[in-house]
A and B are shown apart, each in its own frame.
Chain A
Amino acid sequence: MRATLFIAGRQLWHRKLLNGIAVLGVMLGVLTLIAITGIMRGFQTKFLDTILQISPHVVVFDKTLGDTTPIVDQLLGGPSATAIVRQTSTDRQQRIARPTETVRAMRALEGVAAVAPLVVGSAVASAGSKETPVELRGIDPEVQDVVTPLRSMVVDGQLGGLTGAVDGAMIGHQLADLLGVKVGDNLSCASALGDRVVLRVVAIFETGVAALDKGRIYVATRRAQTILGRGDAIDRIELRLVDPDHAPAVTAQLEALFHYDAESWQETNASMLGVFDQQNMITGLIIGAVLLVGGFGILSIQIMIVLEKRRDIALLKSVGYGSRDVLAIFLTEGAVIAVLGAALGAAAGHFVLAGMRLLKSASGMGYSKPSTFAIYERPIVYVLAFGFAVGVGLLASLVPAWRASRVEPVDVLRGT
């Protein structure tokens, strides 16, 4: 072992330039892996965190599945007389029946943290000469706040204003800018089926998601039903789960029990998650290719060194070193190059990520508000990068090391 380390160490040092290039190759591979993973995963993680913060984990729509009887009707013994009496010609055919009982039943399910009924529709908001289409949401603010924490998004005014003032509205900050209104100002809201209602801005929110910040208005449930002409209908139920990863299973369970179409947050964002998958695959390919290039760097340089050192290998063997000793010497050299390159690459990757944290992302990457880059930096990434690089380095030096160990001293001495 002492001979292996001594000889390998000196040979590495003697060819500083060549081996330095090999170290650089591995270093670049590891740097690329850590930097790209940090930036890509950072963005993805931030995106998902935002989604899970501002969106419900599961949404139940008013669209029924098949002709089967919902579980609430099964429990209560068919549609109640009151529901039939109150049905009018203006009611839509699609609505969630017995929302109070349905919400209560959903809240009792395992893994469900909170349930909020709401009414959602399209409307036009106007203030002065400006008007814009909006998505109007009728909510119970306190209940909805548990499902999608609205209070934390309020940047001006009070969420409680929705409860206190019948005509209160909470609007996105970009919408407020668009309409030129602030807290305390009035705006008008109307839809094709309902009444035009004058609302007073009681709160302004900011989610960081442009589509919501310039296109959504929250009002009390009753007010939304009036504007949208929905009577007392509830057409949507949103759920927050204890574990968001269980959303697909809970969604399936809800559909089976209540026979309403339900959608998990993964389905809602399937296209973006699909893009992430593709991004991760492409990133993996790029990183793998860069590391392989690093590995080929070691391979070619080591092969060159082995060819150049055939006489020295022959000498070592003639003075008693065996094939395993020679194999160990060249594998040690490959391992040292890989470990050194991986360590330097990890350090460089850390510095690059630290630098990225200080930079402002100008565009918000087209989705969220402009902010500093979100960086994903975990020990596991460093461990994986290090392990992968050392593995590639050892594999790359295996072929030249094996060739070195096969050198027959007598062939070299004879000059063949």
Chain B
Amino acid sequence: MTSAIAAAAAPAAALAAPSLEARALVRDLGDEVKTRILHGIDLAIAPGEFVSVTGPSGSGKSTLLYLLGALDRPTSGDVLIEGVSTVGLDDRARGALRGERLGFVFQFHFLLPEFTALENVIIPMLRRRDIPRADARARALAVLDQLGIGELGGRRPTQLSGGQQQRVSIARAIAHGPRILLADEPTGNLDSAAGEAVLGIFETLVRDRGMTIVMVTHEPSYARRAQREIRLRDGRIVEIATGAPATVTTR
């Protein structure tokens, strides 16, 4: 039923093969006492779609994002990334899939403190045999330039502001050319101006590169700027809004 609502609420682009697909996704946490965090989520996200995920704390937003990003394994159900089922993949294959097809942006930028901004952007590409080091450097410089921080490439993370750090982490997430970007509260640690800048970058990535973006956020105004807003409560999708608050479909 939920998948029907999701499909119905998806924009026209969703009619193409999904970039990300969740099938009857269940996730329990806890060792002795199991707590069900997600209750059978069905979801299809189309290529080039910008989706926000909202909901109160503990509603399962981040858990859903980690499952969609193959960072976590579902208790049952499956996640398909560009048509590839992740349920049967071992850790190595899941790592390779993440490294090639996905980009991650976290609330805390997770930049490696020993490396410069430029090196932080290069590191995910270093393990890729198909990207020569010179090419990785050129790509990283180009992306940092596009995000307006080209001149900061030589600085360490501690020498950057919060907004600049988050831009570097976005550059790291997209420099290797993934088609899907998963962002876990990317503006949660930023002031409004820096948050606005991040949203602007996401919209540009969707518009100019056709990237698929799934963004978990607590900020309603940012959530509404996505093409679809998926609202979770107690591990279930309760609302899917498209375009603007007026078009909210309530389950």
Taking Cβ atoms with an 8 Å cutoff, the residues of A that contact B are 2-3, 6-7, 10-11, 13-14, 311-312, 314-325, 409-410, 413-414
Contacts and interface: CB of A to CB of B under 8 A. Distances in A.
Contacts of B104: 318-319
B216 to A, nearest CB: 11
A323 B91 contact: yes
Nearest to A312: B112
B91 A3 contact: no
A413 B184 contact: yes
B68 to A, nearest CB: 12
A314 B66 CA distance: 12
B105 to A, nearest CB: 10
A416 to B, nearest CB: 9
24 contacts: A3-B123, A3-B126, A3-B127, A6-B126, A7-B123, A311-B108, A311-B110, A316-B112, A318-B104, A319-B123, A320-B98, A320-B99, A320-B100, A320-B127, A321-B99, A321-B127, A322-B91, A322-B92, A322-B96, A325-B127, A410-B66, A413-B106, A414-B62, A414-B66
A317 B126 contact: no
A170 to B, nearest CB: 75
B186 to A, nearest CB: 13
A413 B104 CA distance: 12
Contact of A10 (B92, B108, B114): B114
Given A3-B123, A319-B123, A10 B95 contact: no
Interface size for chain B: under 10, 10 to 19, 20 to 34, or 35 or more residues? Answer: 20 to 34
Given A319-B104, A324-B92, 5 more contacts: A3-B126, A14-B113, A321-B127, A413-B62, A413-B71
B72 interface: yes
A315 B113 CA distance: 12
Nearest to A416: B29
B18 interface: no
A7 B91 CA distance: 21
Interface of B: 62, 66, 69, 71-72, 91-92, 95-96, 98-100, 104, 106, 108, 110, 112-115, 119, 123-124, 126-128, 133, 172, 184
A319 B172 contact: yes
A31 to B, nearest CB: 30
A11 B62 contact: no
Contacts, number: 70
B66 to A, nearest CB: 5
A314 B133 CA distance: 23
Contacts of B106: 315, 413
A44 B113 CA distance: 54
A320 B95 contact: yes
Contact of B98 (A14, A311, A318): A318
A238 B72 CA distance: 83
A325 to B, nearest CB: 6
Given A7-B123, A410-B66, A318 B71 contact: yes
Q: Which of A14, A321, A413 has the most CB of B within 10 A?
A: A413
Nearest to B156: A14
Contacts of B123: 3, 6-7, 316, 319
A414 B30 CA distance: 13
A347 B66 CA distance: 51
A315 B184 contact: no
The 9 closest A-B pairs by CB, nearest first: A320-B99, A3-B126, A14-B114, A319-B124, A315-B110, A410-B72, A322-B95, A3-B127, A10-B114
A314 B92 CA distance: 14
Contacts of A11: 114
A155 to B, nearest CB: 68
A322 B113 CA distance: 20
Contact of B71 (A7, A13, A325, A410): A410
A315 B71 CA distance: 11
Contacts of B124: 319-320
A20 B138 CA distance: 34
A324 B126 CA distance: 15
